[in-house]
Amino acid sequence: MVQGTPLFTSAALEALKNRYEAAGQGHVFKYFHELSDVAAAELFSQLSSIDIERCNKYYDRTAGEAAKAAAAARSADADRIEPLAPESYASTLGSASAEEISAWTAEGMELICANKVAVILLAGGQGTRLGAQGPKGCYDIGLPSHTSLFELQALRIRRLQQLSTRGRLEARIPWLVMTSGPTSEATHRMFEENEYFGLRKEDVFFFNQGVLPCFGNDGKVLLESAGRVAVAPDGNGGIYEALRRSGGLEWLRKRDVEHIHSYCVDNCLVRVADPTFIGYAALRGAECGALVVPKKAWNEPVGVICMRNGRHGVVEYSEISEEMAKMTRDGSDELAYNAGNICSHYYSLDFLRKRVPKIEARLEHHVARKKIKCVDLETGAQTTPDKPNGIKLERFVFDVFPYVDRMAILEVDRKDQFSPLKNAPGSGVDCPETSRADLIAQCIRFAEAAGATVKVPEGTDARFEISPLVSYAGEGLESLRGKTLAGNQLINDIEDVVTI
């Protein structure tokens, strides 16, 4: 029995039990009478916060009988998947002229100057796969500066603000940071301890990614323990509801923001609030946009943006045949399905505020079959399965693409804007070593484009870094022309460089 003074009324408890019973999920109360006051109150609070009827609908539509019926219908009328037509998007690698790119960049800078641009950072991931504790954004990829991913991105925001400020009109770029339950506290602490990396505290808005209950293969909600339902993050596509529920969209509206750049924390080359991308999308009157990079090879395991039944969408590499993946465009060696998705997106605020709420009810969840620790309802013991025993439901941030009426897709150079951090040190692919090497190589290109020579000591790896506060994308380095620079230095001040 629950001992002491309950923190909820018996009527409220009975009503909650009745809801769960009616939803076929009454088993979550099986051990309720054995819990302490505190544990009972916590479970009551958690169960009250879950819209169990809606979650049941998600399960049924995604993994239950309704999903099976939908799958059967789809098999009878297969999706029509086609590559993007070359004329449907622009490319900084060839199709766009220098004048066009310059115009897009100028437009983006004007919008930043007018305080019409904000950025959203998807930072809910942990550094577990990297062998690190805490949020992935706290990770140090081993640069000479030992700057974390969070700080790299903050410094780029500061540099853009400096470049966009005109006279007394100070440019300020609001930064919304989406965390998850496991990363929220540590992320807040990282920002506080580092004084928001030089940004104003009032320009940073934290909000939490949502969660959904985990289901067993039979559609029953799993209990993590006697007093807690097993839950999991609802995927990066949960950003839309989380922004709305947290007040983030209203915060942006009050600041008169109109254009938003959204990106993932694990890309050390991301051009935060990229003025070229922002300007390109804004001039096209886009609701939504995406940056893409050419695939490294036909079998690179990356999703590609293409057309599905006449609408934009992302097709995962596992969804297309080898024959389709190897297709090339007529008269060239370029892959037809070549628009690699890098999770760097543009939104108009109007789209997020007015259209997405109407779209969300139509978005399906995706099934992730996982090994989930849970209570065995027969024995009451917590089990650690050795094979997938349950389902996590999630949405992807690109699930809105098919509902976008005005889409803006811009192809950019991978070496300038995309170096993902996914794998543990030493793995050789998308790992700390490759991220560090890619960023250092970019800094060397910046210096060489300005007319300098970077001399790396023979037999050593380059340790050459230019702080984002010195240069956002290669600008401001004119004074390096004709100089030979030591290849093992950190440049924090353009007037203080080591030459050979």
Indicate whether 4 pLDDT > 50.
Answer: no
Closest by alpha carbon to 469, among 170, 152, 193, 202?
Answer: 152
Distances in whole angstroms, Cα of residue 313 to Cα of each of 89, 93, 263, 342 = 14, 22, 18, 13
pLDDT of residue 66: 52
Average pLDDT, the chain: 93
Give per-residue pLDDT as tens, 9-65.
Answer: 999 999 999 999 999 999 999 999 999 999 999 999 999 999 999 999 999 988 876
Task: Report the range of poorest mean pLDDT among 181-190, 316-325, 346-355, 416-425.
Answer: 316-325
- In which band, very low, low, confident or very high, does the pLDDT at 455 lie, cut at 50, 70 and 90? very high
Indicate whether 303 pLDDT > 70.
Answer: yes
Alpha-carbon distance of 366 to 364, in angstroms, equals 7
pLDDT of residue 407: 97
Alpha-carbon distance of 448 to 462, in angstroms, equals 14
pLDDT of residue 84: 95
- In which band, very low, low, confident or very high, does the pLDDT at 352 lie, cut at 50, 70 and 90? very high
Indicate whether 471 pLDDT > 70.
Answer: yes
Give per-residue pLDDT as tens, 100-145.
Answer: 999 999 999 999 999 999 999 999 888 888 988 899 999 999 999 9
Percent of the chain with pLDDT over 90: 86
Indicate whether 498 pLDDT > 90.
Answer: yes
Average pLDDT over residues 385-404: 95
pLDDT of residue 131: 87
What single letter denotes the amino acid at residue 239? I
- In which band, very low, low, confident or very high, does the pLDDT at 193 lie, cut at 50, 70 and 90? very high
Average pLDDT over residues 287-300: 96
pLDDT of residue 95: 85
pLDDT of residue 319: 85
